[in-house]
Structure 1
Amino acid sequence: MKPEIKNMAGGLAGALILNLVHETAKRVSQKAPRIDLIGEEALTKSLNAVGVSAPTGNKLFGTTLAADLIANATYYAMIGKGPRKHLLLRGAGYGLFAGLGAIGFTQKLGLSDKPVTKTTETKVMTVAWYLLGGLAAALVIKKVGEIDDERSGILELA
């Protein structure tokens, strides 16, 4: 299997885990980060800046969720670049950097950071969930690589 496909499979897994945790937590905790609100604000401001009306309601949510999944999957897929022995370390690094970036750069990008900085718990959850996504991506990339290695070994013996 091509490395790009392995990496995208891992990236997609990390993005799905991240978004599942976010979507579940926002329904059960007032302190949960609301990355979705930041995404919606970013999409709306970006479209309005180029003279396009942004969707509203469920269409805005769906469009933002799709864009978030694609962006996070692409970002997490980069974890697969480099030596295999450092996959988990890279996964942790990418996840940690994304989480810290979400809390530290949102306001600098002209967006409200309140959805991810409202409490210390919110900040910790934000970083932890991006870290979880990075580790999930790394583990999937690692496992897919191992399965691919086993198949290659079987083919070589045949």
Structure 2
Amino acid sequence: MTDLNKTILPSLGSGLIGACALTILHETARQFIDEAPRADILGMRAMKKVLKKADAKVPSDDELHDWALGGDLVSNTLYYSLIGLAKPKHALAAGVALGVVAGVGAVGLPGPLGLGTAPSSRTPATVAMTIGWYLIGGLATAAAYRFLKRK
């Protein structure tokens, strides 16, 4: 196996699995739980802000939603792919750390970034779900990494 197959592909594959788990959880829960975090709204606001700064046309809300989901998948895949810096035997600890840090960031950073606080921290339940769901993404990443790195 080449270095690419031994290191980068398992890291990216694991990150993609964690990002997909997180996105599926966010998108499903928002349909049924009033206090669910709205990462999609944060993503849409961020995209809109960037497009306006670039003097680019802002697409319709439906199209912007699709772009935001795509951006979330890409950025969360790359973030969760940092699991590749850990040895497989430390994957669980790394996945927990990645998940908790991402969740805390998702709660604390939108306000200072000018994206609003309500989508990820409007109630204590929303805060708990935000952190918990990023943790679940980290755990899915860790499980996938252990699986993909087995000999």
In structure 2, list runs of 5 or more residues that go unmatched.
Answer: none
Q: Which residue is 1:52 aligned to?
A: 56
Distance 2:127 2:68 in 1: 21
Give how far 1:100 is off.
0.3
Q: Percent identity?
A: 37
Q: Deviations over 1:11-43 (max 9, x none)?
A: 000000000000000000110000100100000
Distance 2:86 2:6 in 1: 14
TM-score (norm 2): 0.94
Kindly report the root-mean-square deviation, in angstroms, between the aligned alpha carbons of the 2 structures.
0.8
Q: Which residue is 2:7 aligned to?
A: 3
Q: Deviations over 1:68-115 (max 9, x none)?
A: 100000100111213222111010001000000011111011111111
Give how far 1:55 is off.
1.2
The ranges of structure 1 where at least 4 consecutive aligned residues each deviate by more than 4 angstroms after the TM superposition are: none
**Residues 110-119 or 9-18, more deviating:** 110-119
Q: Which residue is 2:66 aligned to?
A: 62
- Larger radius of gyration, structure 1 or 2? 1
Listed as ranges, the matches of 1:56-95 within 5 Å are: 56-95=60-99
Distance 2:122 2:93 in 1: 29
Please tell me the residue identity of whatever aligns with 2:123: T
Q: Which residue is 1:154 aligned to?
A: none
Give how far 1:2 is off.
2.7
Listed as ranges, the matches of 1:3-152 within 5 Å are: 3-146=7-150, 149=151
TM-score (norm 1): 0.90
Q: Give aligned pairs, total.
A: 147
CA contact (8 A) 2:43 2:72 kept: yes
Give how far 1:3 is off.
1.1
